[in-house]
Amino acid sequence: MTAIQGYVKPSRRPGELGVHSLDHFHFNVPDLAVAQKFYGEFGLDMQSVRDRLEMRTFGAPQLWGTIGEGPRKKLGHLSFGAFEDDIDGFAHRLQSMGIARLDPPPGVDSNGLWFHDHDGTPVEIKAATKTSPDDKSVFSQPSVGPRMRGAPSCSQVKRTFPRRLAHVLIFTRDVSKAIEFYTRVLGLRLSDRSGDNIAFLHGIHGSDHHMVAFARSNAPGHHHFSWDVGSVDEIGAGAMYMLGKGFAKGWGLGRHVLGSNFFHYVQDPWGSFCEYSADIDYVPVDYDWPSDDHPPEDSFYVWGPNVPADFVHNYEA
Question: Based on the domain organization, do 114 and 185 belong to the same domain?
Answer: no
Convert the pLDDT of each residue in 143-164 to its tens digit. Answer: 889 999 988 898 899 999 999 9
Does residue 138 belong to any structural domain of this protein?
Answer: no
* CA neighbor of 22 nearest in space, from 205, 199, 160: 205
Question: Based on the domain organization, do 270 and 178 belong to the same domain?
Answer: yes
Does residue 143 belong to any structural domain of this protein?
Answer: no
Give yes or no for residue 248 having a pLDDT over 50.
yes
CATH number at residue 290: 3.10.180.10
pLDDT band at 1 (very low <50, low <70, confident <90, very high): very low
> Mean pLDDT throughout 20-26?
98
Does residue 103 belong to any structural domain of this protein?
Answer: yes
Convert the pLDDT of each residue in 164-200 to its tens digit. Answer: 999 999 999 999 999 999 999 999 999 999 999 999 9
Convert the pLDDT of each residue in 3-14 to its tens digit. Answer: 556 666 778 999
Structural domain tally of the chain? 2
Domain that holds residue 292: 163-303
Question: Based on the domain organization, do 75 and 168 belong to the same domain?
Answer: no
Question: Based on the domain organization, do 186 and 103 belong to the same domain?
Answer: no
Give yes or no for residue 282 having a pLDDT over 50.
yes
How far is residue 136 from each of residues 22, 193, 279, measured CA to CA in Å? 16, 21, 8
Question: Based on the domain organization, do 121 and 173 belong to the same domain?
Answer: no
Does residue 225 belong to any structural domain of this protein?
Answer: yes
Helices vs strands, H then E, count in the chain: 4, 19
Question: Based on the domain organization, do 35 and 87 belong to the same domain?
Answer: yes
Type of residue at 282: Y
Question: Based on the domain organization, do 96 and 194 belong to the same domain?
Answer: no
Convert the pLDDT of each residue in 87-130 to its tens digit. Answer: 999 999 999 999 999 999 998 989 999 999 999 999 999 999 99
List, in sequence order, every beta strand (DSSP E) within 65-130: 65-69, 74-82, 113-116, 122-127
> Mean pLDDT throughout 74-84?
98
Rounded CA-CA distance 161/165 in Å is 11
Q: pTM value? A: 0.95
